[in-house]
Structure 1
Amino acid sequence: MRIQGHLFSWIGAFMLAVAIVYGVWSKEPVGTTALFLSFALSAMIGFYLIFTARRVDTGAMDNKEADVADDAGEVGFYSPHSWAPLMLGGGGVLAFMGPVFGWWFLFFTAPLVVIGLWLWVFEYYRGENQNQ
Structure 2
Amino acid sequence: MRIQGHLFAWLAVFLLAVAVVYGVWSKEPVGTTALFLSFALAGMVGFYLLFTARRVDVGAQDDKEADVADDAGEVGFFSPHSWAPLLLAFGSALAFLGPVFGWWFLFFTLPVMFIGLWLWVFEYYRGENQTQ
TM-score if structure 2 supplies the norm length? 0.93
Paired position in structure 2 for 1:82 = 82
Paired position in structure 1 for 2:56 = 56
CA RMSD of aligned residues (A): 1.2
Secondary structure at 1:81 match in 2: coil
How far apart, in 1, do the equivalents of 2:21 and 2:101 lie? 40
- Which amino acid counterpart does residue 41 of structure 1 have in structure 2? L
Query: Which segment drifts farther, 45-54 or 30-39?
Result: 30-39
State whether structure 2 residue 101 is matched by structure 1 residue 101.
yes
How far apart, in 2, do the equivalents of 1:25 and 1:125 lie? 56
Unpaired segments of 5 or more residues in structure 1? none
Unpaired segments of 5 or more residues in structure 2? none
Percentage of matched positions with identical amino acids: 81
**1:91-131 CA-partner distances (Å, limit 9, x unpaired):** 11111121222222211111111111111111112211111
Secondary structure at 1:104 match in 2: helix
Shift of residue 73 of structure 1? 0.4
Paired position in structure 1 for 2:7 = 7
Secondary structure at 2:103 match in 1: coil
Count matched residues.
132
How far apart, in 2, do the equivalents of 1:100 and 1:119 lie? 28
TM-score if structure 1 supplies the norm length? 0.93
Shift of residue 88 of structure 1? 1.2
State whether structure 2 residue 37 is matched by structure 1 residue 37.
yes
How far apart, in 1, do the equivalents of 2:19 and 2:106 lie? 35
Shift of residue 27 of structure 1? 2.0
Query: Which segment drifts farther, 72-81 or 109-118?
Result: 109-118
How far apart, in 1, do the equivalents of 2:17 and 2:78 lie? 37
